Amino acid sequence: MSTISVNVVTPDGAIYEGDMEMVSVRAQSGELGILPGHIPLVAPLAVGAVRLKYEAKIDLVSVSGGFIEVRPDNVTILAEAAEAPSNIDVERAQQAKKRAEDRLERAKQEEIDFKRAQLALERARTRLEVAGK
């Protein structure tokens, strides 16, 4: 089966590099599935897990926004922040999830930035999903 070269990059450097059969991401406009030979495109990413499929194996990478650039033989994900499962501190992610849930609960009674709290909760949930917890 043919493959497509994939790079996940943050301001701190490369997080993931490899040849994949399929890449799935959550763009702000919806879910995108990319196969080798895909038409060129650039799209803003939402917070979510990038799924990288090769043979029967699926690798996950947690991404907190950014952009995806697709070319027929290459996918580049320029992420604000990204983490492979092995780099995720599960305890820290669970604490961040708890804090975000508490902020969302308080946002109903106080003037707390609801959107910011929602994004924090989404980032924590994604990190835990990618870490397998």
DSSP code per residue over 11-72: TTEEEEEEEESEEEEEETTEEEEE-TTPPPEEEEEEEEEEEEEETTEEEEEEEEEEEEEEET
Is residue 67 over pLDDT 90? Answer: yes
What is the average per-residue pLDDT within 107-115? 68
Neighbours of 32 (CB within 10 A): 17
Least confident residue range of 2-6, 25-29, 31-35, 105-109: 105-109
Q: What percent of the chain clears pLDDT 70, i.e. is strictly above it?
A: 95
| pTM check: above 0.85 | no
The CA angle 112-116-121, to the nearest 5 degrees, is 110
Q: How many residues does the chain have?
A: 133
Assigned token pair, 106: 């308080």
Q: How far is CA 14 from CA 37, 61, 104, in A?
A: 23, 12, 33
- The pLDDT tens digits of the residues spanning 14-43 come to 999 999 999 999 999 999 999 999 999 999
Q: Which domains, from first to last, does the chain contain?
A: 4-83 (2.60.15.10), 89-131 (1.20.5.440)
Is residue 12 over pLDDT 70? Answer: yes
Assigned token pair, 99: 């804090």
Q: What is the pLDDT of residue 107?
A: 67
Contact 78, 69 (CB under 8 A): yes
